[in-house]
Amino acid sequence: MTTTLDPAADSRRLVLQRRIRWIVGFTIAYNVVEAIVAITAGSIASSAALIGFGLDSVIEVLSAAAVAWQFTRREPERWEKGTLRVIAVAFFALAAYVTVSSLAALAGREPVQHSTLGIVITALSVVVMPVLSLAERRAGRELGSATAVADSKQTLICTYLSAAVLVGLVANSLFGWWWADAVAGLVIAAFAIREGVEAWRGDACATSVGMLLENDDEHDH
């Protein structure tokens, strides 16, 4: 069976690849700033959750950088599996750190100081991250890229983590509930493990229908 080259489809593919590069580039820049601000604020306030949030941003940079690197290759599809493995490892690392830091916070019962800077940066992330995640997920699905979709899931997890840390910081400031963000962190860690397993198996985006069709086309050539 032969296939006809579609110039319009090729043009659309290039547009989507550029869009994904732009999205992950912005995500990297934002997360670098977020990491610096969160770790600084966490150190000042003695907040394990904020420090963990900042380190999560570092892991998010790793994941986004892996996808950005993939889409600088001439044939990004060839690097799909390896990039998915990098994203999976980032998920596992995130889950491990959040679990350890959350358990340490629960065991230590150390008081956390109010952090206006921490509340501002986590609130901003709750707004920014879902937009980036949705844009990358849509582009990734249309392109048939499981790695882009997996990276968008990691960005979405960053949103959940942002919301959890924000609630914890506000609850601690208003009610003295020092344990709130630690408990939420454990729930997020479990979710991160599940997503990591899916990425490792290549199941992100349900393996992506577009990716399967793309593989079929490759076999037909």
Q: What is the pLDDT of residue 32?
A: 93
- Of 152, 151, 140, which Cα lies nearest the Cα of 86? 151
168-212 pLDDT, tens digit each: 889 988 988 888 878 878 887 888 888 788 878 875 433 333 332
Greater model confidence, 26 or 24: 26
Residues 6+ apart with CB under 8 A from 185: 49, 52, 98, 99, 101, 102, 105, 161, 164, 165
Contact present, 210 and 141 (Cβ < 8 Å) = yes
Q: What is the pLDDT of residue 81?
A: 76
How far is it, in rounded angstroms, from Cα 137 to Cα 205?
9
Percent of the chain with pLDDT over 70: 84
All structural domains of the chain, each given as residue ranges with its CATH number in brackets, are 7-220 (1.20.1510.10)
